[in-house]
Amino acid sequence: MDQERLEHIRHSAAHMLAAAVLELYPRTKLGIGPTVENGFYYDFLFPQGTTVSEEDLASIETVMKKIISGHHDFVGRSVTAVEAESEEADQPFKLELIKEFAGEGKNLTIYESGPFKDLCRGGHVDNTSEIPADGLKLHRVAGAYWRGSEKNPMLTRIYGLLFATKEELDSYLEKLEEAKKRDHRKLGAELDLFTFSDLVGAGLALWTPKGTLLRNTLDDFVWQLRKERGYEKVTIPHITKKDLYETSGHWDKFKDDLFKITTREGHEFAMKPMNCPHHTQIFNHVSRSYRDLPQRYAETTMCYRDEQTGELHGLSRVRGFTQDDAHVFCRESQVKEEMFKIWDIIEAFYKAVGFNDLRVRLSLHDPAQFEKYLGTKEVWENTEKQLREMVAERGVEAFEALGEAAMYGPKIDFMAKDSIGREWQVATIQIDRNQPERFDLVCVNEQGEKERVVMVHAAIMGSIERFLSILIEHHAGAFPVWVSPVQVLLAPVSSKHVGGARALLNELTEAGIRTGIDEADETIGNKVRKAAGQKIPYIVVVGDKELGGEPWMIRVRGQKDQVKMTKEEFIEKVRNEIAGKI
């Protein structure tokens, strides 16, 4: 089934959801009901005292399918603003839309289908019989502010899934069940990686020793790859005067997303939501010769954005996040080489963490909304042409996405597919000729003249919090050996074996292996089950034979049969896996 037809089917199903809700809850006020990936939703303001939860979805779905089975035609008709207001007189949200659309000179249409009519611009099937009821399921309830603003009423959003066939629906539901098992919020608690505190605030993650070790292991690898390519570390403060963002252009476009601070003297500061403007000031604090370029700055640091509470989600959407950020200041002739160095880093890193096949997306500006971007069309078009040429020279296929560019420049985004088939945007490289212009970033060339530099933005993990939400779910918490916070767990058989196990712990630790020990007064069965639940790659039961120099029987994560090897062979094996990023 082609995508356009599927969109029309899903849009038509959203109308049927609203029809069912009005039949069950007649005084409900209607919001909007668009299509989304894999289905649709509709927003409702239910009568005072009425609460609709996921327990109510089955009854709503039953009524919805009954209406669909009535084989109603979808009939659209144009109306004037006065006519629309008359027909939607008891629907305040629709009246707001009518007033807005009429003020913009838009045509107004109302679509009827059996017992239901709705202000709608169209895109429907001809008859409700074309909606595949066996591919339909209402599956989730959420809260959503009207038009996305916390100043407006909170509505109840009901999500529906809709696929062309029952088989496709069942397959997607299986994927959802697998996703629940892999949910990073659930695994993060079980593996003791991070937590949140109501006293600290929503969207502000707190990292445990294990979680911090995981973060640092990944970040250290990124730094190793960068250091090999000539990067240097820099450090910036977490706040700035608003003047910096006014110059960069971020204040006008993102001031509502910033945490703002007013000093006792009345000066206005902001918590930094990104690092690039600060880094321009490091570059610009002295005069630069062409011989000084490229300047490559790297920094892993926290940033902050005032996200709405309803949009927060575990680690994937937070208010405080950590960026493994880097910026290169170079000449035009050096751009391609610097871009390819970053590309090499990205490929090496993602192979090591278990994402072998990255898709490339060219994120370009939307010509129809150029007011969203800084700079001139000529600069944008030339930069995008340059990116296409780089992708071609690299020998990879890329797909283009209009409107996905940053405000200051187009970018190459890398897309990773996880183990259950979901695709995520991960690393990114961006060419920026606008901030060098706005901050007057130059070097002195061979002729003694000022030459405008180019700024290249590079994020490998990007937001480390968001990246870890993806990595945890991709591996279901069973990280590669080199990443695992605990790589080997020693389980003494009894209290008399604890001293020998501690000596082994020291020996493995000195060999560079992250080792834990379970000294609890419990059975070996319980210790092994606990360690397996923690997704530890290797478990070694320490008893008389192991301490007596006999070969070890190693329990290997994910394997039924144990592996027999000497202590020396085991240490060498684990060290090789760590060194080889396995």
Query: Which are the catalytic amino acids?
Result: 276, 305, 323, 325, 327, 411, 457
For 536, counting Cβ atoms within 10 Å of its Cβ (0-12 exposed, 13-18 middle, 19+ buried), the class is buried
CA distance 277 to 250: 9
Annotate 57-91 with DSSP letters as a single string: HHHHHHHHHHHHTT-PBPEEEEE-HHHHHHHTTT-
Here the tokens at position 288 are 């630069």
Alpha carbons within 13 A on the beta-carbon side of 183: 10
Closest CA to 467 of 315, 582, 320, 351: 315
Q: What DSSP character marks residue 543? A: S
Contact partners, residue 272, CB within 8 Å, separation at least 6: 236, 237, 238, 239, 240, 278, 303, 304
Closest CA to 532 of 556, 511, 550: 556
Terminal Cα distance for the chain, rounded = 41
For residue 415, which phi and psi values (nearest 5 degrees)?
Answer: -110, 125
Find residue 556's DSSP bridge partners. Answer: 538
CA distance 543 to 491: 9
Upstream peptide bond of 551 is cis (omega within 30 degrees of 0): no
Return the residue matching tokens 């006020």: 29
Here the tokens at position 206 are 């707190």
- Angle of helix 166-182 relative to helix 464-475, nearest 10 degrees? 110
Size of the chain in residues: 582
